[in-house]
Amino acid sequence: MAQRYNGKIMALKLMYITNRPEIAIIAQRCGVDRIFVDMERIGKEKRQPGDTVKSSHTVEDVIKVKSVLTTSELLVRVNPICENVEGFCGSAAEIEAVIAAGADVIMLPMAKTVDEVKIFAEHVKGRAKTMLLLETAEAAEKIREMLDLGVIDEVHIGLNDLHLSLGKKFMFELLTDGTVERLCEIISEYGLPYGFGGIARLGYGMLPSEYVIAEHYRLGSQSAILSRSFANVNKMSELDEIEGLFELETENIRKYEKALMSYTPEMFEKNRLETVRLVDQICRSI
């Protein structure tokens, strides 16, 4: 069912990954709720070889992006909890640095144990919102124990790494095999906001974005990342072109959301069944 807060249906919080202040300004102006600086690098190349999005953002990028934000929140993904990696300052120092740089929300990736979540929260010390990126099979099994700590403010289900961790062929299999639904139900019991995956512009993506957004509403999700399929700004040279794309495509998403707010349970079920059919078709072709 569509997500509600204090009885009111809420639009999805949209997040966009960038370390470029000029792009952050455009995204903010076009209604993107969170600008996402991605500092995670440890273990990512090994987990996600090939053409996946791998950022090399820094604390300096956090400072630069923060300086241009007036309405959007600044979300920073740090590295997994670790202390003995060559060239890495350690989790405590990294989290301290991003808090000092102005992070509003700090995302913990690749957590596998309850202790890692506890250590993360101890480093943050309530100075920023804490977001758990649920993207390992271990976290999926221990999610109740992790949330029982009472130290996480929000959860995002990371479909890319989680589908790899669970041995699936296609990340949206998790949407059709009940995995995402089960996790959303558990997180909702704790009264926490949650989201999952990324979305392309309408009409784009192996699984067209319309089906995914409707599933966000059916499952009560409150946030989504705008993917590289939404706007790959690294392949665009003119800021006017980038702004035009953001304006058009965020408006299209918001218009579609307004239509979804009047969907009946039967309409959402029809979308779910068609999503299952399409994902099965995609998996058979991979």
Which residue range forms the structural domain that includes residue 80? 4-285
In 10 A of CB 237, how many CB atoms?
Answer: 8
Buried b (16+ CB within 10 A) or exposed e, 70-89: eebbbbbbbbbbeeeeeeee
Report the alpha-carbon distance of residue 170 to residue 163 in Å, rounded: 7
Q: Which residues pair with 73 in a beta bridge?
A: 34
Say what the pTM is: 0.92
Name the nearest CA neighbour of 233 among 13, 31, 26.
26
The DSSP-derived string for 228-262 is TTT--GGG---HHHHHHHHHHHHHHHHHHHHHHTT
Name the nearest CA neighbour of 187 among 120, 225, 139.
139
- Each residue's pLDDT, cut to its tens digit, for the chain (286 residues) gives 344 433 445 699 999 999 999 999 999 999 999 999 999 998 766 655 554 555 689 999 999 999 999 999 999 999 999 877 777 888 999 999 999 999 999 999 999 999 999 999 999 999 999 999 999 999 999 999 999 999 999 999 999 999 999 999 999 999 999 999 999 999 999 999 999 999 999 999 999 999 999 999 999 999 999 998 898 888 888 999 999 999 999 999 999 999 999 999 999 999 999 999 999 999 999 8
Name the nearest CA neighbour of 132 among 196, 176, 73.
196
The CATH number of whichever domain residue 233 belongs to comes to 3.20.20.60
SS3 151: coil
Q: Which residues contact 44 (CB under 8 A, 6 or more apart)?
A: 54
Asked if 57 contacts 21 with a C-beta cutoff of 8 angstroms, the reply is: no
The tally of domains found in the chain comes to 1
